Structure 1
Amino acid sequence: MKLQYAVGIDIGTQGTKAALFSLDGKKMSEAFEKSNLIYGGPGEVCQNAEDIYGSVLRTVNALMKKSGVPPKQVAAMGIDAQMAGIMAVDADFEAVGPYDSWLDTRCEPYIHTMINRAGDEVIRRTGGPVTYTHGPKILWRKAERPAEYEKAAKFVLPGVFVAGKLCGLKAEQAWIDYTHLHFSGFADNRRKVWDEGLLSEFGIEKDKMPRIVSPWTEVGRLTEQAAKACGLTSGTRVVAGCGDSAASALGAGIVEKDMIYDVAGTASIFSCSTDRFTPDLETKTILFSRSVIDGLYTPLAYIGGGGLCLRWFLEQNGRDYEYWNKQAERLEAGSGGLYFVPHFSGRTCPNDPGVRGAYWGLSFHHTGAHMYRSIMESIAYEYAYYYSILKRQNPQISPKYIYGAGGGARSAVFSQIKADALGIPYRPLQEADTAVYASAMLAAYGTGLLGDLKAVMKAPLREEVYLPDKERYEIYHKNKEIYVNLLEALGAFGEKERGE
């Protein structure tokens, strides 16, 4: 019987999604399970590792039942997952403690430790500034949970934990794929190796770090037990997989240089592909991540809760997105001099916990529509700021379009605002969830079922193209500078409040 299907799994912050695809890209079925985020003491956000593993078993089993596809026809499986959090496994690949989410901020003191001792060197080597990512989280575990640190054989990502359990692996077989290295704190991203100088500087044993592999590397096959739980056959092949942002960009067709990609979801993520590795030592804002496509980089920056701010507004004021989008469309660019700050949990890019959410410039003529539109404009100002940094580093970047995914890309007014703020046409993708498709095709490629990964990553676009308006661009260009100054002032105010 010919093998002709692949499973893609996306372990996101909000939940686990799995989908089954034929090798020509047709989605046969899908399933979703909401995450169980555990909010403990101050700054604590984690997940039970077995909950994550169980969610994968259940979603894959559900989609197989829906699909009607014989299990023997499913050849391979690929997994992408949350990128900035970290967890640990013992020698037998059992979880040591919970998965510390990227939302968990308990490691903040160790961010300062890393910045003070080698902040610029971390950026130069890894491509990413020190923030709530692997390095500080591992240092936190070593200092605050020494028994767990001692028991940890390898530090791994949640997608790796799941794949290792599915395949019955030992810790010595653990891996990290290269799309995560900008978050690692200890890697030489350009060379794709662990940096022994950084590991030594912070007292982290190299043997606790997993091997670094390409995302399509085959890492194992489903055990009898895992296959039964998934509704598949033992021997189904599993590849290393990649980070969820990397999978999302790959599935959106970001496979060549000079392509801007916007993820307008829970987080607001902006990236622009390039073939040059130029870490952001000046502003420490851009995370210089690797694409799944080797030799291509997708430097990015993001607002931790960009889309959540719009949801928050609806929760406070009622009505739905359609209503408020129509109200916002009637207003002039600039929201009548009103500015919004979307950093409800602190600014991430660059890391500045002193910046918090705010409205600035409110007057009696402002309405709810002004307040709603200013949220969208604040995200566009952030994107314009990120893009200006990339252009300084890489003057040759010349993107033709902004490619938009996520729920926010379905908003005409939001799409137009972004086109106007950056001066680049905006093209929404037809499919909002591109990560599961990319992970499935990555599995097919890694197991030899597909010969050209780039060729199948041509995401269909919607018919709408939002062209930038020159006058609105000039307004937004001026407002962006005011907005950035406002962020800096709020950061300074936050430091004063904390007595720093």
Structure 2
Amino acid sequence: MIRRERGIFFVYSIGLDIGTTSAKAVLYTANNEEICACEIAYPLLKRKVNYAEQDPDVVVDACFTVLHHVINKGQIQGKDVSLVALSSAMHSLIAVDQNGKPLTLAITWADNRCAPFIKTLKGTSQGRHFYENTGIPIHPMSWIGKIHWLRENERSVFKQAYKFITMKEYLCLRLTGHYVVDHSMASGTGLYHLRKQAWDKDVLAFLEISEDKLSSLVPTTYELPPLTAEAQALLPVGTDCRFFIGAGDGVLANIGADALEKGTVAITIGTSGAVRTLVDDVVTDELQRTFCYALTEGKFIAGGATNNGGMALQWFIDQFSKGMQTEANGRSIHELIIKSAANVPAGSEGLLFLPFLNGERAPFWDPDARGTFFGVSMHHQHAHFARAVMEGVLYSICSVVNALKQSLGTIDRVQASGGFARSPEWVQMLADIIGQDVSLPPSHHASALGAVLLAKHAIGELDMFTAAKTEKKEQALLFKPNLQHTEVYQELFAMYERLYQKLETEFSAIAAFQSK
């Protein structure tokens, strides 16, 4: 039965996910079943060494266009979409002027330009104080480093900035003309006091900015004000369609992947990767290995993110696999690479890859870390390197899993999502490396689904803490670890962690050389 509220039939809903390299729109039925999904890619700009930026207007245009595409693909009428809910990659920073025009590109989580300052701050008592209050490790992804860099290196931009906002805030500004940020996205900036649920006055004083330079804080259940006439004219939905602000993509992935119970973690690998679990209070780590984000009042997401997920495999394909031809059945080059890697024995016959192509976040939080192949021998072929890259991404995930276990105790259930979940071979490697069952929900678009479920939770349509269960759990695929492979991986994973420790000093040296 279709429910009616405020004169709106709950027929279709859309989860709009603003990613690092693409915008995705997923269309759902009234019962939250996925109908179809569309994606529009945009570049991650690398203008200089250690830079990683987006063009804000290109991203917004992609978001508007992908909504048109998903409605057309679903063969529905835009007026029948009653709800659009937002998800977004976290940590991006845009300085805008008084007219809302960007003064900078969007400086993403992958941008390491402020690394020298961050290395200085991280080991101080002040750095620890900031981490304990905000739950965000001292790392270039944090706005502390980004805004400090602007203050010291782009003084005119720093002074001219009317607001500092995330990519999702810029989209909301283009939609409504209002500056608002949900508590989840705010908690990813490093400027938000988790326990006070407010902007952190100590951090703001340190950065020499006032609170009016930041958007107004709103709950993750917040419904956006009516759209501007300009935005409405560009969108394919009716004037009755309701837009909800949602949360960060990682927080929402736990909702969409049914990872809201104690002892359950969501492992997401898209461009980057992350391991997250729901907690009832703010959780920080003595070694500052994990983050903590706001979800809703009294609920938080603890975990750790890695810089190099699907990005690492894409790099390998772009740099070393362009000459490969797709097979006659039309499979993509990604499928061919993964299939060839699956034919290589577990452990890549002694070839290890440290996947730190873009520095690393959890658990090392080292922007100077660099990618490394170790153990290269004459018998290693292209497929060995491909598998080593895939395994290296999962070794980094495993190191975060272990850090969470040390902080929070045992992990009983693992839910996987993200682009890597399209590959059964890669998911099986994950089960083998962590030595635990891995459950794969029917859809790998966990963040988009989580955004829709959170919005419907906000209006009383459902309870998000139970909505992703029942039939979704029955439909999930279960990957059990091959214990012989797990034994191989345990030996190699120990070597992987030792390699990082041994190379840490040299990573700093080579990073300094590359920055000359």
**TM-superposed deviation, 1:12:** 1.0
2:420 matches 1:408:
yes
**Is the aligned partner of 1:381 residue 2:386?**
no
Q: Larger deviation: 192-201 or 435-444?
A: 435-444
Q: Distance in 2 between matches of 1:219 and 1:387?
A: 36
Q: Is 1:347 aligned with 2:351?
A: no
- Please show how residues 428-447 of structure 1 align to structure 2 within 5 Å: 428-446=440-458
Alignment of 1:138-177 (within 5 A): 138-169=147-178, 174-177=179-182
After superposition, what is the alpha-carbon deviation per residue over 1:119-168, rounded to whole angstroms, capped at 9, x for unaligned? 21122111121222222112222222233323323222111221122123
1:87-126 equivalence runs, <5 A = 87-117=94-124, 118-126=126-134
- Tell me if 1:128 matches 2:139: no
- 1:351 deviation in Å? 2.5
Matched residue SS, 2:40: strand
Contact 1:410 1:428 in 2 (8 A): no
Flag the 1:463–1:254 CA change in 2: closer, same or farther, 3 A: closer
Shift of 1:486: 0.2
Alpha-carbon spacing, 1:236–1:183, altered in 2? closer, same or farther (3 Å): same
Distance 1:208 1:322, change over 3 A: closer
Structure 1 residues 237 and 114, CA, compared in 2 at 3 Å: closer, same or farther? Answer: farther
SS of equivalent to 2:14: strand
Q: The residue matched to 1:484 in structure 2 has which SS?
A: helix
Could you tell me which of 282, 286, 289 is aligned with 1:285?
A: 289
* Counterpart residue number, 1:234: 239
State the partner residue of 1:26.
Answer: 33
Flag the 1:474–1:275 CA change in 2: closer, same or farther, 3 A. farther
Residue 69 of structure 1: how far off its partner (Å)? 4.2
Aligned AA (1:455): T
- Give 1:455's aligned residue: 466
Shift in CA distance, 358/217, structure 1 to aligned 2, threshold 3 Å? same
Q: Does 1:180 align with 2:194?
A: no
Give the whole-Å Cα distance in 2 for the aligned partners of 1:409 and 1:451.
Answer: 27
Alpha-carbon distance in 1 for matches of 2:31, 2:96:
37
Asked if structure 2 preserves the Cα contact closer than 8 Å seen for 1:182 and 1:287, the reply is: no
Q: What's the secondary structure of 2:292's corresponding residue?
A: coil
Q: How does 1:74-85 map to 2 (within 5 A)?
A: 74-85=81-92
Q: Helix, strand or coil: the match of 1:103?
A: coil
Structure 1 unmatched runs, 5+: none
1:78 and 1:443 in contact (8 A); partners too: yes
CA contact (8 A) 1:354 1:490 kept: no
Query: How far 1:490 sits from its partner (Å)?
Result: 1.9
Distance in 2 between residues matched to 1:375 and 1:99, nearest whole Å: 28
Within the candidate set 38, 49, 56, 2:45 is matched to: 38
Deviations 1:286-312, CA, capped at 9 Å, x for gaps: 22233x354343323233233233334
Structure 2, unmatched stretches of 5+, are 1-6, 326-332
Equivalent position of 1:427 in the other structure: 439
1:427/1:462 contact within 8 Å kept: no
Cα distance change of structure 1 residues 266 and 460 upon mapping to structure 2, 3 Å threshold: farther
Deviation at 1:272, TM superposition (A): 3.3
Q: Which runs of 4+ in 1 moved over 6 A?
A: none
Q: Secondary structure of 1:300's match? A: strand
Q: Secondary structure at the match of 1:161?
A: helix
| 1:3 paired to 2:9 | yes
| Closer, same or farther: CA 391–374 of 1 in aligned 2, 3 Å | same
Q: Deviations over 1:242-298 (max 9, x none)?
A: 11222233222222222122223222322233335331231x3322233x3543433
SS of the equivalent of 1:33 reads strand
After superposition, the C-alpha distances for 1:381-427 in whole angstroms (9 at most, x for unaligned) are 222221221122122x3323x21223322434332332222221012
Quote the Cα distance in structure 1 between the aligned partners of 2:76 and 2:343: 49
- State the AA in 2 paired with 1:422: I
Rounded Cα–Cα distance in structure 2 between residues aligned with 1:288 and 1:394: 12
| C-alpha separation in 2, matches of 1:44 and 1:323 | 31
Q: In the TM superposition, what is the alpha-carbon distance from 1:363 to its structure 2 partner?
A: 2.5
> How do 1:180-259 residues align onto structure 2 when only pairs under 5 Å count?
180-234=185-239, 236-259=241-264
C-alpha contact (below 8 Å) 2:135/2:190 kept by paired residues: no
User: Structure 1: how far apart are the matches of 2:388 and 2:415?
Assistant: 22
Contact 1:84 1:183 in 2 (8 A): yes
1:325 positional shift: 4.3
Q: Distance in 1 between matches of 2:77 and 2:339?
A: 47
**Aligned partner letter, 2:138:** V
**8 Å contact kept, 1:163–1:238:** no
Which residue identity does 1:162 align to in structure 2?
A: L
> Structure 1 residues 466 and 236 mapped into 2: Cα distance closer, same or farther (>3 Å)?
closer
CA distance in 1, matches of 2:104, 2:385: 42
Counterpart AA for 1:302: A
Secondary structure at the residue paired with 1:440? helix
Q: Greater CA deviation, 6-15 or 178-187? A: 178-187
Shift of the alpha carbon at 1:342?
0.9
Distance 2:358 2:506 in 1: 15
The residue number in structure 2 matching 1:309 is 312
Asked if structure 1 preserves the Cα contact closer than 8 Å seen for 2:308 and 2:360, the reply is no
Which residue in the other structure is 2:498 paired with? 485
Bigger Cα displacement from structure 2, 188-197 vs 59-68: 59-68
Deviates more, 1:220-229 or 1:86-95: 86-95
Q: Which amino acid aligns with 1:184?
A: T
